[in-house]
Amino acid sequence: MNIPSNKHYWTEKEEKNVLDALARGQLSGDGYYTERVSALIEENFGAGKALMTTSGTHALEMAAMLIGLEPGDEVIMPSFTFSSTANAVLLNEGKPVFVEIKPEDLNVDPNDIERKITEKTKAIIPVHYAGVGCDMDRIMAIALKHNLRVIEDAAQGVNAKYRGRYLGTIADFGCYSFHGTKNYSCGEGGALLVNQEDTQIIKKAEVIRQKGTDRWLFLRGDVNKYNWIDTGSSYSPSDLLMAVLLAQLENMQEITEKRKAVYKVYRHAFEPYERQGILKIMQIPRECEPNYHIFWVIFNTQEMRDFVLKELNRQGVAASFHYLPLHSSPMGKKMGYKPCDLPVTEKAAKCLLRLPLYPGMTEAELHYAIQSLAAVIGAL
Ligand SMILES: *Cc1c(COP(=O)(O)O)cnc(C)c1O
């Protein structure tokens, strides 16, 4: 049996919407479906303003542009994340400052954020790893105390909550991803959430998104032609993709429930191994309601993890690992970091195992994955 790490989950709605979008004939950005998706995100999640983007990466880039970094300004973020979080800052002449994560949920450690604040610190980018919220109360309090902007990298955190509030809506900006590997997906896509009343910021975001023009005023019918007014790029997605995404978001609860069912089976299956002291299972803080994006465990040693990973893969179960931490990557080394700078992050990267998790996973597939795991761990 072959079990992929991830698999899309379509209903009939995606196909129906795509055909409808084709029939409408307007496939460029900001059409019928784009408007419906952003309205759904604003209403459902309580976001200030949701601007749909071509990717989560682009949402992060827009947020980094909007906080007005000066060359050399420092932005604190975990090293345990995807390169996009750091690139957004580098592309805007800022300097990423990597901090440590907490071993129990692999989310950024607020104590290390405080330790690494300097006079040049401008912002914090917490990453909600695996769809589990960071300690936002502490992070927002630190930001308030030091007058810092906060951008939530909620690429994995769509439809998950922290103290009853949706991830991505808590800080100044939130960034979502709808990439093929994420819970709710249209292949490539994202959203920038602007959670501020400041109409100037929203206007600036619209201009950046529309190639530096006031095209959004034109689309609203306020002006009869649009002008180039500032620096910008092209971040609005095709309406065809938004047609797919609307169907996904309308099926959000069903997708989440199905993921949760798989997650619970894994948790139950791994508990005996945790009691034996071989590994630790991911923890979900009481104040967090996750979206079951990832199920992960951390083995005691890299040898164990590598053995289990290799054997599961050999049996067709696409277990995987990540991230290669940014601070110990070739780019991180160029920036002057050494692997030993962030030991918790290093350990996580070396000992973490992710299990296949997708909504359409059949009982037979799940059973096979767990049986394979039992056999492999038995051979440790
Ligand atoms: C997926 C992801 C991104 C990038 O999103 P894309 O839509 O693939 O550009 C950024 N940050 C994190 C933490 C992610 O998981």
Q: In the 3-class helix/strand/coil scheme, how is the chain assigned residue by residue?
A: CCECCCCCCCCHHHHHHHHHHHHHCCCCCCCHHHHHHHHHHHHHHCCCEEEEECCHHHHHHHHHHHCCCCCCCEEEEECCCCHHHHHHHHCCCCEEEEECECCCCCCECHHHHHHCCCCCEEEECCECHHHCCCCHHHHHHHHHHHCCEEEEECCCCCCCEECCEECCCCCCEEEEECCCCCCCCCCCCEEEEECCCCHHHHHHHHHHHECCECHHHHHHCCCCCCCECCCCCECCCCHHHHHHHHHHHHCHHHHHHHHHHHHHHHHHHHHHHHHCCCEEECCCCCCEECCCCCCEEEECCHHHHHHHHHHHHHCCECCECCCCCCCCCHHHHHCCCCHHHCHHHHHHHHHEEECCCCCCCCHHHHHHHHHHHHHHHHCC
Using the atom order of ligand 1, give the atom closest to the CA of residue 81. 13
pTM for this entry: 0.97
The whole-number mean pLDDT for each consecutive block of 10 residues of the chain, a chain of 380 residues, reads 95 96 95 98 96 98 97 97 98 98 98 98 98 98 98 98 98 98 98 94 95 84 86 96 98 97 97 97 98 98 98 98 95 96 97 97 97 93
Q: Which residues line ligand 1 (CB under 6 A)?
A: 55-57, 81-82, 84-85, 127, 153, 155-156, 177, 179, 190
Residue nearest to atom 1 of ligand 1 (CA): 155
What integer pLDDT is reported at residue 218 of this predicted model? Answer: 78
Measured in angstroms, how far is the CA atom of residue 84 from the centroid of ligand 1? 7
**Residue from 57, 186, 188, 322 to probe ligand 1 pocket by mutation (most atoms less than 8 Å from CB):** 57
**Residue from 177, 186, 188, 294 to probe ligand 1 pocket by mutation (most atoms less than 8 Å from CB):** 177
Measured in angstroms, how far is the CA atom of residue 105 from the centroid of ligand 1? 18
What integer pLDDT is reported at residue 7 of this predicted model? Answer: 95
What integer pLDDT is reported at residue 137 of this predicted model? Answer: 98
What integer pLDDT is reported at residue 217 of this predicted model? Answer: 79
